[in-house]
Amino acid sequence: MQRDFQEPARCRPDLVIGREEVFGQAREQLARGGSVLLHGPAGIGKSTVLRALAADNSGSARTVLRCSATESESHLPFLALADLLGLVLDEVTGKLPVAQRTALESALTGRGESTLQRDGLALRLAVLSALRALAAEGPVLIVADDVQWLDSASAELLGFAARRLGGTPVRMLCAVRTEGQEYDRHLRASPPDTLALRVNPLSRTQVSELLGHRGYTGLPRSTVRDIHRTSGGNPLFALELGRALSENPTPPRPGEPLPVPTSLRTLVLNRLEMLSDEARRTLLVASAGARPTPALLRAAGRENAEAETAQAAALGLLATDPEGPAVRFAHPLISAALYAEAPAHERRAAHAALSKAASDPIERARHLALATTGTDPDTADSLAEAASLARDRGAPSVAASLGLLAARHTPAEGNPDARRLQAAEDAITAGELDLARDIARDVLTRATVPADRVRAWIIVIDTAGHAMTEVDSVFPQALADAGDDPQLLALIHYQLTWRALLVDGDFDRAREEAAHSAALAAQAGDRYNELMALACQAQIETLMGHPDAPATIKKALKEPQDPRVSCHHNGAGYSRFRWLIMSDQLAEARATVTTLLREVQRTGAVESEVHFLRGVAETELRSGHCGRALDLARESLVMARDTGIGEVASAVLTSLCEASGGDVERALELAREAVDHAEEDGDQMYVSRALTALGYAQLVAGDAEGAVRSLRRVRELEHGLGITDPARGRWQGDLAEALVRTGELSEAQDVIDVTREQALRLGRESVLAVLDRAEGLLRAARSEHEAALAQLTSVQDRLAKLGYGLEEARTAFALAQLRTRRPGPTSYDEAARLFRRCRALPWLRQVDAASAVPAADPEPAAAPAPASDALEGLAAMERQVAALVMEGATNREIAARLFISVKTVEATLTRVYRKLGIRSRVDIVRLAAGRRTK
């Protein structure tokens, strides 16, 4: 019977947010019979992981022994040992020698005067014997939390036993608070096979997930970023900061740090009382600065900065930095708590001193603002200039913060709303969409100037991203505010272009709206918005396969240009990239998008960076560099989820890359998520793209039926959207191949014929090659083997010359399957070599599986047919499957031979049985035997 003592509330492992890797490693170690020591600083989540692992492993143990020490009780001898063994004492004492039993009972009950000094050997042996006695009845799991607070006697006895358990089925699962690598001494007191795992800080995405799980939802991403920075990724600190913000109706003002709750102030500031008053003032100035150094502190009036920071470092408040002179707090929370604890007048004094001492104009302006109360035109102008400088330096987030400070100090007659709107636009550039939306809606509550109102409406629309159905009501209001002003109308019609694309899926209407926007902007002399509209028109025409696309791109690239457009993700540069990659000019496409990515990384344009990361990843994937593509796609997905920008698009691309070079199950998961999100947003274009990724992943996974279902939907959607260029999604070849695998040969031929006509018209050479590969597979399914071999050989050569490495490898694989009469370990060498070159791991696993299938005669057409005339009524695929069954081939062998899935073989056989009036494979063999005896 399982014994589990002092069991706390269960913690489901799937709620161990951000700890999947450490949880998985620990779980595997415990499953092997080993022990685990979790270590890390206070609040990092060790106890959460410990409880989840204990819940996960308690079912495999007959006895679970638990203890959780506290600092206040660490002076009490044998307390932890009593927690562990107290409830099983009666079970084990009768199995111990008298001396050991007496010593252990005395220690655990407190009725004697047992001490380690007097009964050391007997106690040590008693603990070891007790654990062995329990293990003799079944596996034992010892769960010990906060090992650093174990009383010294219990720690010594437990360590003695742990080192001597040997092959006894006793596992230890422990957690200890450490800083750095000081867990070694605890590891020495653990079983020899113990795996030490450090629990590290959470990423910003994980902090956001944790806050949402605990109910702290609705926090702007900029606030989540500040929580992550201030907490240092510590989940306890992050949750306390989130709770304080949710309970505080007034959020911190721009430029100010987060409010730090009393619970955390007490936790991190208890050592401040040991500082002198002067040292504490020096640390306050350091906490107010962005990059404080001793020199800066001296310039700010702290004459004894070196000695006072040394005193703080000795108390653990500051960390020494061997690579530079910066004054760095041991944890960001210390700085935030110190600043929050200081009175307002002391904070202003610190900022005033730093406004004179700082050498950087942006820092000077920020400190001047935080030292000033009320409106002040000079301070506001200084901040606006600093925001412009930050924008030029590629720091749009800083520019947004400075812009809000400038608006706060701008008098009413100076139009502070214009500065707020500029700050909102900077926030969009920085990827802080929630902040931008909040600013714009605040401005709309009072703005009366049409230009300001339309500008605010455009920000609201922009921050909706692909979920444009959520802002449908905005367009009539924006058009009313614009009146007959061509410049304002151009802005709105540009947004209506995207609505026509994303919501209605109407390419013709979108193209008209883009052209109208460009004409209005030209009429108003607004070159920036004219170029943006032309670039958008060019992208739409490219997707449509419209003959005017090259001319529109040329028009969008005509001088004079605006530097803000050239590197915008909706600018002409990106339109040209899309045209290049769809036209099979991979090398030039890679060079173009790589240049764009470098430029936006320099300027800090986050939304464009997410787009261009995807562009580079897509180019690498087309070129057959699957590992590199997967790394870039994953990076874009992390950035998209951190900022809320382009999450569906990044998930789609990452799914394609996972299916090609990573984890197929992950690919399927991402694609399904993308489909769901796109459908929720009402974004028909991305429903189509997400289904394309899903269909490809299903094909790689061997689910041909699922691939057919997904890609048929893509065909219907794109027909409805008016997308005629097959290079847009490149799904047609996969659909045709999946249809061949499921035996639906007529539909496969139709997909090939219709798509080939479109590809020929547009000169899409790689699409034509992939269609020819699908047709080669179709011919093989029709037993036209010589024609199939010739076609596939030609396709492989064409794809190699075009630079499509993965498609070349897929064709080599199809050729190997078709050529091989007796598969063996060397039959697939060429395909395996090409897939390894691409790092296409899922495909490489398919090669391994195919090469392991025993041989069968690859000429099913030459096999004797069953005697029954009913065979003539079978479809071509059904006849081939039946013929291979007669030869004794297994379902797996048939699937490998005919390029179909095992499920398709099973479904085909079911139809054969029904048509022939038989019940099993044996009946087919009997029919064949009857034929041969005639």
**What is the per-residue pLDDT for 180?**
58
Give the residue, 323 or 400, on which the prediction is more confident: 400
Average pLDDT for residues 571-579, to the nearest whole number? 84
- Output the pLDDT for position 616: 96
Q: What band does 670 get if pLDDT is binned at 50, 70 and 90?
A: very high
Look at residue 261 in the predicted model and tell me its pLDDT.
80
Residue 863 is predicted with a pLDDT of 37
DSSP one-letter code for 300: T
- The pLDDT, as a whole number, for residue 10 is 38
∠ Cα 533 537 540 (to 5°) = 140
- Residues 313 and 319: beta-carbon distance below 8 Å: yes
pTM: 0.63
Q: Confidence band (pLDDT; 50, 70, 90) for 855?
A: very low
pLDDT tens digit sequence for 96-143: 888 888 888 888 876 656 566 666 788 889 899 999 999 999 999 999
Can you spell out the DSSP letters for 504-568? I--HHHHHHHHHHHHHHHHHHT-HHHHHHHHHHHHHHHHHHT-TTHHHHHHHHTPSSP-HHHHTS
> In DSSP terms, which residues pair with 40 in a beta bridge?
177
For the cut 80, the answer to whether the pLDDT of residue 179 exceeds it is no
Q: Are 902 and 892 in contact (CB under 8 A)?
A: yes
User: How many Å apart are CA 828 and CA 499, to the nearest integer?
Assistant: 49
> Rounded CA gap, 872 and 482, in Å?
72
Mean pLDDT, rounded, for 645-667: 93
Cβ distance 235 to 42 under 8 Å? Answer: no
Share of the chain above pLDDT 70, in %: 90
pLDDT at position 910 is 81
pLDDT at 190: 84
SS3 412: helix
- Measured distance CA(85)–CA(154) in Å, rounded: 11
**Of 3-7, 314-318, 610-614, 785-789, which gets the smallest average pLDDT?**
3-7
Residue 893 clears pLDDT 80, i.e. is over it: no
Alpha helices in 11-71 (DSSP H): 20-31, 46-57
Say yes or no to pLDDT of 765 above 70: yes
Residue 669's pLDDT is 93
Number of C-beta neighbours around residue 345 at 10 A = 8
Stretch among 31-45, 295-309, 822-836 having the lowest mean pLDDT: 822-836
Confidence of residue 875 (pLDDT cuts 50, 70, 90): low
pLDDT at 182: 67
> Which pLDDT does position 45 carry in this prediction?
87
Residue whose pair of structure tokens reads 């409010």 in the numeric block: 259
pLDDT of 229 strictly over 90? no
Residue 306 CA to chain centroid, in angstroms?
43
Lowest mean pLDDT among 73-77, 432-436, 673-677, 862-866: 862-866
Beta strand 170-177 with 195-198: parallel, antiparallel or unpaired?
Answer: unpaired
- Alpha-carbon dihedral angle through residues 210, 216, 217, 223, given to the nearest 10 degrees: -90
Tell whether the model's pLDDT for residue 755 goes beyond 90: yes
What is the distance between the alpha carbons of residues 309 and 671, in angstroms, rounded to a whole number? 53
Q: Indicate the length of the chain as a whole number.
A: 934
pLDDT digits (tens, 9 = 90+) for 767-779: 999 999 999 999 9
**pLDDT classification of 732: cutoffs 50, 70, 90:** very high
Comparing CA positions, the residue from 525, 493, 531 lying closest to residue 511 is: 493
The first and second tokens of residue 710, run together, are: 């997904």
Instruction: Count how many Cα atoms sit within 13 Å of the Cα of residue 656 in the half-sphere of its side chain.
Output: 28
Band of the pLDDT at 860, cuts 50, 70, 90?
Answer: very low
Query: 295-299, 313-317, 770-774, 800-804: which has the minimum mean pLDDT?
Result: 313-317
pLDDT at residue 897 is higher than 70: no
pLDDT grade for 866, boundaries at 50, 70 and 90? very low
Q: In this structure, are residues 864 and 906 in contact, taking their beta carbons and an 8 Å threshold?
A: no
pLDDT for the residue 266: 72
Predicted confidence at residue 927, as pLDDT, reads 67
What pLDDT is recorded for position 165? 86
Which residues lie across from 63 on neighbouring strands?
Answer: 3, 140
CA 522/CA 801 separation, integer angstroms? 44
Least confident span in 325-329, 623-627, 667-671? 325-329
Residue 851 pLDDT greater than 80, yes or no: no
Q: What is the pLDDT of residues 58-82, one digit of tens each?
A: 888 899 999 888 887 777 888 888 8
Q: How far apart are the first and last CA of the chain?
A: 68
Average pLDDT, the chain: 84
Is the per-residue pLDDT at 468 higher than 80? no
* Res 709 pLDDT > 90: yes
Instruction: Report the number of secondary-structure helices (H) and strands (E) in the chain.
Output: 48, 8
Pick from 205-209, 298-302, 445-449, 689-693: least confident: 205-209
